[in-house]
Amino acid sequence: MILIEMISLIQQNKKDMFDSNQIIYFRIDSFRISENIDYLITVLGYKPYEIGVITFATSKPNRLKIQYDFTSEKVKLFSEVKLFRKV
């Protein structure tokens, strides 16, 4: 349910302020990240280069690049994800 709410929030923010940047923090099962990115691209219309996702596995150079791209408005949706695994 949280993912549906998150996607709805992203969708509403994009509708209200089309060119604005968004920062989203959330916990997600590691298997769901690509599903959500695909949804953001195919349904909400984001371009792949407009989405930046940082996880614990993201290298420092890639983190810095995503942060730079966000501040320079190349990346429109930035998310820092805390991953967890289902046990």
Highest mean pLDDT among 4-8, 59-63, 79-83: 59-63
CATH code of the domain in which 63 resides: 3.40.50.300
Helix (H, G, I), strand (E, B) or coil at 78: strand
Count the domains in the chain: 1
- Predicted local confidence at residue 37, as pLDDT: 83
Domain of 62, in residue numbers = 2-84
pTM equals 0.68
**Sequence letter at residue 61:** P
- Predicted local confidence at residue 25, as pLDDT: 66
Which residues are registered as beta bridge partners of 85?
none
What φ, ψ does residue 44 adopt, rounded to 5°? -90, -10
Average pLDDT over residues 8-34: 73
Q: Extract the tokens encoding 78.
A: 């930035």
Q: Where does the pLDDT of residue 44 fall: very low under 50, low under 70, confident under 90, or very high at 90 and above?
A: confident
Average pLDDT score over the chain: 77
pLDDT tens for each residue of 47-63: 888 888 887 788 899 98
